[in-house]
Chain A
Amino acid sequence: MSNGLALRDRLATSCVRAVNRLSRLTGRGSGTVAGGRVGLRLAPGLLGSLARGRTIILVSGTNGKTTTTSMAVAGWGGVVTTNATGANMPAGHVAALAAGSSERGVLEVDEAWLPIVMNATRPRVVALLNLSRDQLDRASEVRQMAERWRTALQADASDGPVIVANANDPLVVYAAEVAVNVVWCDVPTTWLADAVSCPKCTKALTHAVGSWHCRCGFAKPKAITTTLHEQLVIDGRRVNLDLAVPGEFNRSNAAMALTALARIGVDLAGAVTRISEVASVAGRFSVRHWNRHTVQLLLAKNPAGFAAMLSTVPADRSDVWVAINARIADGRDPSWLYDVPFEELRGHRVLCFGDRRLDLATRLDYADVDFLVVDDEEVVPVSDRPVLLLANYTAFSDWLARSSA
């Protein structure tokens, strides 16, 4: 893709590749961000130059970005350029586009960076999954995020991207309703704790099965393109969605990815088949080995993510492992543990891992859930079946690194 780039951008691009190669070789990083940073310093407009001429889908939202991005890549088929390691800010996008020559691109975008990345990459489609509280000690509050998206989408002209948006998330609807091209998706969305009061007038929203509205007139959009119940329906076409990855939330992610692909003309049946085969995304849902244990790794970073993951825990599984850290990438404040419906784990015993295992144990104690604080990992009881491990961001990375395939 480097033909058509200005000299400055070409030089910057080769620097991106060189730095990434070096950082991989020296083992200092996975080589996806360092090079991008250098490139942006040399040529601030590099992201836009690298994106020019490509067909790009952006995916953003609090939960499910990485999985949905991965599903869109798989569903598209063939060679697709993507930031697969979740380096979801501009340096990561630059690195991905510099490394990948395919003219098709799917990029996962951090919520706060979406307006800038949209502006730079001129995407064909932007998928907006959901907005909920996440790392509030770092990011701005969730309503401000919706406001920023709305401002960015408002500026969007008629030749701008198609916005594939979750109609069941009032904050997403608030952001997307001002866009010229919106495709509304009616997909299962269980976490609504952050959208109890109306984003427009702050009065109480009324939620009923399959609908929501406010007295001020703000309501779930009526013109729906995609619905997901037993079957998935996109533009009136029905397909069965039978995924390898667990959980209702993953079906919603797949539905959004497929809607985005349908909008750029990808054949639906083929895309469904390819998406159904996705079994693990950057280690998520993968079954791993650690000491004498077999562990299935589930990532959950915030209350909405945890609520979704807890719903996948089978009732007959006695021990469940949970690992909690509060490092910078997790957000330093684990208060959100009290927003997670851990009461659902009553009847199980929870083994508490991670830097903040005592915060977790205290939360479980007050939830009346049986727990064991794991201070000595040598004495963890071995289960005859794979155990589920729910971990937040850095705890998940730790476990992925310390376990083997």
Chain B
Amino acid sequence: MIRVAVLFPELLGTYGDGGNGLVVSDRARRRGIQASLEHVGLGDELPEADLYLLGGGEDGPQRLAADLLRASSLASRVNDGGAHVVAVCAGLQILGSSFSVEGDDEYEGLGLVDVATRRGERRSVGELAVRVGADLLVGFENHGGLTTLASGVSPLGNVVKGRGNDGALDGYRTSNIWATYAHGPVLAMNPWFADLVLGAVVGEELEPLATVADRLYRERCSVLGR
């Protein structure tokens, strides 16, 4: 049994990011692994979960989400309890040490990872492809952040197309956190990534699962010029 929690979809769900929770829990169930999926609303207590998902959001909601999460038990659940996190876009920025959204005001993040985001020169809007080990991660980005990783922090992968953190690297990863600028249903578009996360959460090797998402993934890879 795994418990999946989508955090504040009202604030961090601008680009269909809620789909990621659906994808992970559904891919678990299809393999006979029980999975619960919970959407955590603004007034709700942070539930205990094995996987927390954070999506993208606009500036105001992003700051509110950061406030709510700093006051919550998320950091201790991830640091001490071994909970996993997938964070995209604004979610990626919130987990870091600081971020600037409106103007140059710096905002305090959760500090789970030593990563700082400031406002870039221009917005990045378009297809994003990232080399992650032997795999290609495909998606779409739409953000104005320029994210810098402290030395010792591993990126998720190298940018093949688009901008990601800074034009060269995208996202970051720790033993139990994955973060990327590929927003929206990145786990839907990249079934291998969904299974990488799911495998880590259940702590075992997963049987392959054939779905129509495989066709979608192949199509996106060929469009993005693999």
Residues of A near any B CB (own CB < 8 A): 133, 136-138, 141-144, 193, 196-197, 202-204, 332-333, 335-339, 358-359, 361-363, 365-368, 371, 373
Closest A residue by C-beta to B140: A333
Whether A339 lies near B58 (C-beta < 8 A) is no
Whether B60 lies near A197 (C-beta < 8 A) is yes
Total A-B pairs in contact (CB under 8 Å)? 99
* Closest 6 pairs (CB-CB, A-B): A335-B184, A338-B19, A338-B16, A196-B10, A204-B42, A335-B16
Whether A366 lies near B10 (C-beta < 8 A) is no
Closest A residue by C-beta to B25: A366
Whether B10 lies near A362 (C-beta < 8 A) is no
Given A333-B140, A359-B216, A365-B211, A141-B188 contact (CB < 8 Å): no
Shortest beta-carbon distance, A360 to chain B, in Å?
9
Residues of B within 8 A of A137 (CB): 125-126, 140, 142
Residues of B within 8 A of A359 (CB): 189, 216
Residues of B within 8 A of A142 (CB): 58
Residues of A within 8 A of B35 (CB): none
Q: Which of B52-79 contact A (CB under 8 A)?
A: 58, 60-61, 63-64
Whether B215 lies near A335 (C-beta < 8 A) is no
**Residue picked from B41, B125, B216, most chain A C-beta under 10 Å:** B216
Tally B residues with Cβ within 8 Å of A. Answer: 36
Whether A143 lies near B60 (C-beta < 8 A) is yes
Instruction: A141 to B57: give the CA distance in the assembly, Å.
Output: 10
Closest A residue by C-beta to B67: A202
Residues of B near any A CB (own CB < 8 A): 10-11, 13-19, 22-23, 26, 41-43, 58, 60-61, 63-64, 125-127, 140, 142, 183-185, 188-189, 211-213, 215-216, 219
Instruction: A337 to B213: give the CA distance in the assembly, Å.
Output: 14
Residues of A within 8 A of B63 (CB): 202
Residues of A within 8 A of B212 (CB): 358, 361-362, 365, 371, 373
Instruction: A136 to B55: give the CA distance in the assembly, Å.
Output: 15
Contact partner of B18 among A133, A138, A144, A338, CB < 8 A?
Answer: A338
Instruction: A141 to B15: give the CA distance in the assembly, Å.
Output: 11
Instruction: A141 to B90: give the CA distance in the assembly, Å.
Output: 14
Instruction: A195 to B46: give the CA distance in the assembly, Å.
Output: 22
Whether B213 lies near A362 (C-beta < 8 A) is yes
Closest A residue by C-beta to B10: A196
